[in-house]
Structure 1
Amino acid sequence: MFGGGGGLNPRKMKQMMNQMGIDLDDIEAEEVIIRTADEEMVFHDADVQRMDAQGQQTYQVVGEPDVRPRGEGETADAGADDTGDAGDSDDEIPESDIEIVAGRTGASKSAAREALEETDGDLAAAVERLE
């Protein structure tokens, strides 16, 4: 569309996007997890951008993920604490997730763990619940 593959400077690109009603924001993400039926893709220190256009938000994640399988053997691959419970994902909240939620919200670790359990480990939903 723009030709030349990079001939447009970033400032001009941002001006054009603003004129079209597109707002682009960088997000200081520590970790991004994409879960599919079979696996999890975990991006550590990924570059994340949110684009708001016509009332819809689109997220772009740039980075190299660690891919791990989901299911029965997940705790060994993911490095989470193995509680020995029969596959109950609420009891397998990684300590690192608890620390992220507690750090972002200022809540105690127990409150962060409870929020993560209530949201099935969804970091963003847990942070939103505590804010």
Structure 2
Amino acid sequence: MFGGGGGLNPRKMEQMMKQMGIDVEDVDAEEVIIRTDEYDLVFDDAEVTKMDARGQETYQIIGSPEQVESGAAGGDAGTDADAGAEAEPEIPDGDVELVATRAGVSEDEARAALEENDGDLAAAVETLE
């Protein structure tokens, strides 16, 4: 982001980022999987950093991935979860309540809008308004 730091000490860099409204935190990730149509990239023991800049979250992954066949990553639980996720995304009840309250509609209508928008809260509310 700042081109390798340019000699700034980490404490000064952190202070500057805070002044700009950027919060940074380390994520204790055991594994990171990036799925594409052709293959999966699996990062074991990756260093993951989350940056929140005024509501826009960005994740940085540092590590060397292993390229595996698409859908092969994640073991048995991953493949079972993938099959269910493709059929119908799991929408948390809290999200349904939030959209229903915000848009002034029933929970059934809110759930349908969330499913239609792949769980995107803002898009679901926009659809209903």
Task: Name the TM-score, length of structure 1 as normaliser.
Answer: 0.55
Change (3 A) 1:60 1:79: closer
Q: Does 1:35 align with 2:35?
A: yes
Is the counterpart of residue 93 in structure 1 residue 46 in structure 2? Answer: no
Q: Which 5+ residue runs of structure 2 have no aligned equivalent?
A: 93-129
Considering fraction of residues, name the structure with more helix: 2
Aligned CA distance change for structure 1 residues 52 and 79 (closer, same or farther; 3 Å): closer
Cα separation, partners in 2 of 1:35 and 1:67, compared to 1, 3 Å: same
Helix, strand or coil at the partner of 2:48: strand
- Equivalents in 1 of 2:74, 2:54: separation in Å? 40
Change (3 A) 1:54 1:62: same
CA deviation map 1:32-80 (0-9, x unaligned): 0000010000000100000000211000000000101216xx4xxx594
| Paired residue secondary structure (1:11) | helix
Q: Summarize the Cα distance change of 1:5–1:20 in structure 2 as closer, same or farther, 3 Å threshold.
A: closer
Q: For residue 62 of structure 1, what is the amino acid of its counterpart?
A: I
Q: Which has the larger radius of gyration?
A: 2
1-structure distance, mates of 2:4, 2:28: 30
State the 1:117 CA deviation.
Answer: 5.9
Partner residue in 2 for 1:106: none
How far apart are the structure 1 equivalents of 2:4 and 2:43?
Answer: 30
| 1:15 has 2:11 as partner | no
1:2 and 1:8 in contact (8 A); partners too: no
**Amino acid of the structure 2 residue aligned with 1:93:** A
Assess, with a 3 A threshold, how the Cα gap between structure 1 residues 38 and 11 changes in structure 2: closer, same or farther. Answer: same
Partner Cα separation in structure 2 for residue 17 and residue 79 of structure 1? 35
CA RMSD of aligned residues (A): 3.3
The alignment status of 1:67 with 2:51, answered yes or no, reads: no
Structure 2-normalised TM-score?
A: 0.56
Q: Which runs of 5+ in 1 are unaligned?
A: 81-91, 98-112
